[in-house]
Amino acid sequence: MKLKNLLYAQSGGVTSVINTTAAGVIETARASKKIGKVYAGKNGISGILKEELIDTSQESDTQIKNLKYTPGGAFGSCRFKLKDPKENPNEYLRLLEIFKSYNIGYFLYNGGGDSQDTTNKIANFTQTSGFPVQCIGIPKTVDNDLPYTDNCPGFGSVAKYIAVSTREAALDVESMSDTSTKVFIMEVMGRHAGWIAASSSLASEENDGPPHIILFPEKKLLQRKFLKKVKQTVLRNGYCVIVVSEGLRDYKGNFLSDSGKIDAFGHKQLGGVAPRIAEMVQIKLGYKCHWSVPDYLQRSARHLSSKVDFDQAFAVGKSAVEFCLNGDSSVMPVIVRLKTKKYSWKIGKVKLSKVANIEKKLPSSYITKDGFNVTKKFRTYVEPLILGEAYLPFKNGLPINANLKNKLVKKRLKKFS
């Protein structure tokens, strides 16, 4: 009997360890004698619809190993939302055609909430179409907003990067604050959930150290209260460090940085909240401000990835393949925190129908009563996730990254529009 093949793809915003997950998938599948070829979709589901499939068997074991040290999405990612199959079945029929033509028995989609929705829809469609494909969603998002998993692969490394960057920037600002910048604002990712902004609190081992103010999407900005806090902080310390989520809202509930555009998933595109905050402080208080937006740097900083995050990212990829071999479908591996004195975890699983399109926001118990910082409960949650260093191999002073061929298979089907 001919072995079924596996198709893996990446979706949504990438992370510093998403390729570690890819390595977990490929290495585990290669070690199994029950899986045929491992294909990767070029640029996620959009590439699969175009029959752009990468034959990973062309890649050496060394290059697959190097994936673990490579940020970005090695096979290309996308923001592409499948329509409901009842409204537009053409995309699903095309995917079914691809699956049949390439003898795909396993489909693994690595992404966030929207991607889990895509995986679930595909699983249901193939089941009712008489060609069931085992579909496994693999968690990934720096936003840490997937439910049922204790944390999301990608988040621990971003948390580490933001905490380190906040501490280093604070030392810089403090040293120059007497005659120069008084207020520094750093804008971090987080449209609806403030997990990344909250992680900046780890920069300080004391409650009153920088960042002095954290602005969360879960809390509306009350301008007068905020400016009073800034002024008090500058008078007390000589300077003020602020970390703000890109999704900060005003007192009416509107994004402060709404650009007026939407992305492929229907989410509003945000245009930069840090300069808005800086302008507000300069006009109202007269302090010299400086702002910064790490943007893609925060999610691609593989040189500063957390070892815990690295291990968990590999584990969810490995487990996804093992789920396939055990006959599972329409599920996602999750990270389960164990109730032990020293931080420990294991892999569990949850049905995709429970995960799709659901966002896990920062609990109110993690935010201080004044709305400007985090509680000890949050620090207890996040501190283990940034532990350890996932060291990189270097050559000539620069990291060694994977150098993949990404050779596409010869197309067999008609062009799809």
Residue 297 and residue 161 share a domain: yes
Residue 327 and residue 292 share a domain: no
Residue 134 and residue 265 share a domain: no
Active site residues: 143
Residue 374 counted as domain residue: no
Provide the residue range defining the domain that includes 344: 5-141+303-357+392-399
Residue 162 and residue 80 share a domain: no
Residue 74 and residue 88 share a domain: yes
Distances (CA, A) of 134 to 99, 184, 248, 270, 300: 11, 49, 39, 36, 31
Residue 134 counted as domain residue: yes
Residue 266 and residue 183 share a domain: yes
Q: Which two tokens stand for residue 188?
A: 């971090």
Residue 281 and residue 263 share a domain: yes
pTM value? 0.95
Residue 71 counted as domain residue: yes
Residue 240: its H or E element: strand 240-245
Residue 239 and residue 159 share a domain: yes
Tell me how many domains the chain contains. 2
Residue 212 counted as domain residue: yes
Residue 364 counted as domain residue: no
Residue 68 and residue 182 share a domain: no
Residue 161 and residue 106 share a domain: no
**Tens of pLDDT, residue by residue, the chain (417 residues):** 699 999 999 999 999 999 999 999 999 999 999 999 999 999 999 999 999 999 999 999 999 999 999 999 999 999 998 888 888 899 999 999 999 999 999 999 999 999 999 999 999 999 999 999 999 999 999 999 999 999 999 999 999 999 999 999 999 999 999 999 999 999 999 999 999 999 999 999 876 799 999 999 999 999 999 999 999 999 999 999 999 999 999 999 999 987 555 555 555 556 699 999 999 999 999 999 999 999 999 999 999 999 999 999 999 999 999 999 999 999 999 999 999 999 999 999 999 999 988 899 999 999 999 999 999 999 999 999 999 999 999 999 999 999 999 999 999 999 997
Residue 163 and residue 86 share a domain: no
Contact 143, 356 (CB under 8 A): no
Residue 298 and residue 163 share a domain: yes
Domain boundary among 286, 302, 318: 302
Contact 346, 160 (CB under 8 A): no
